[in-house]
Amino acid sequence: MIGPGIMHLFWKPLLLALLSMAALAACSAPRTVIVQESVQVGDRQREWALVYFLSWRKEHDPRYLELSRRHMSDAVKSYFEIQVTIGHSYPDFYDIDKRRLQGCDFLRRIDNDADRYGVSLTSRARSGCFN
């Protein structure tokens, strides 16, 4: 039979370990939720950019090209800010990086269309793009 002194030795470390695990789980859960919400914001911006670009292709109204570029630029900035915040250790880092790079390619395509059709865009900045 285990005496009360021995039981006391095992009880404190076990309780401390359980509390530590609960604290770590509580700290990591909100970060994941915040990252997911930020990615969703970027995804919505990207979707709107595609909608406006398709409208541009159909009607050749320069406002659609401008809106497409603005939304895609916002999406790229959003993805880049997420990457800077989470670092390489986050599991979805490379998925977010892929979205950012696709957005950069899309910005280049928008700029090419603007040049081809003589559309003057208010901004050609590519914040978050390195190519």
What's the CA gap between 87 and 71, in Å, rounded?
Answer: 24
Domains of the chain: 33-117 (1.20.58)
Positive or negative: CA dihedral 65, 67, 108, 102? negative
Model confidence, pTM: 0.75
Residue 120 or residue 26, greater confidence: 120
Do the Cβ atoms of 118 and 112 come closer than 8 Å?
no
- Alpha-carbon gap, residue 101 to 78, rounded angstroms: 12
Tell me the per-residue pLDDT of 38-90, one tens digit each, with 9 for 90 and over: 999 999 999 999 999 999 999 999 999 999 999 999 999 999 999 998 888 88
